[in-house]
Amino acid sequence: MKKAELRERPRFYFALPRLVASQLGGNADRTEDNWVEANIVGGAIHLICYAFAAHVLLDGLPLWAQAALLIPVAFLVWICWLIVLHINSVLIRLLRAAGLIRDLSNARAQSVLLGMVTTAFAFYLVENGSWLALLGIAWVAAVALNLLAAAILVVAEALDPARE
């Protein structure tokens, strides 16, 4: 494959890297094929949720008890994710039946709901002021930058007459 063809292929799902790619002459179209991007964001989501659960469940316990319960909390978070994903799927079905999210795919709707939950957990971490607040601040900053990049991409697309 030629360099020009590689540069023209969509490479990112999130708006911030798509905006950067477009400024560097690349393609700003969305794709779900970026394994690295998906795993970084997925890992960040799990880290925020795990930090939230650990803070809520283990705060106030002695350090030895906190250390001993970190693995059981990880298992509990995994079980809770299964429940949250099921609740989200039911909520998406209800929203579709009400005609509210017709143009949004199930995967995108699930991503939006999970992003909202994770952002709420991040705000909790920021509000409670432990060293875990740094994780929350990083997440909230990344979400804010991504939303700003999405707005810039929408405006740029509307102003560019060459785009279809």
Residue with tokens 């925020």: 48
Check if the beta carbon of residue 113 is closer than 8 Å to that of residue 88.
Answer: yes
Proportion of the chain above pLDDT 90, given as a percent: 46
Q: Residue 162: what pLDDT?
A: 64
Q: Residue 26: what pLDDT?
A: 76
How far is Cα 60 from Cα 99, in angstroms, rounded to an integer? 46
Check residues 28 and 125 and name the one with the higher pLDDT. 125
pLDDT at 34 over 90: no
- Per residue in 45-56, pLDDT (tens digit) is 999 999 999 999
Query: How would residue 30 be classed by pLDDT, with cut points 50, 70 and 90?
Result: confident
| Whole-model pTM over 0.85 | no
Query: Token digits for 110?
Result: 């699930």
Proportion of the chain above pLDDT 70, given as a percent: 91
How far is Cα 153 from Cα 130, in angstroms, rounded to an integer? 36
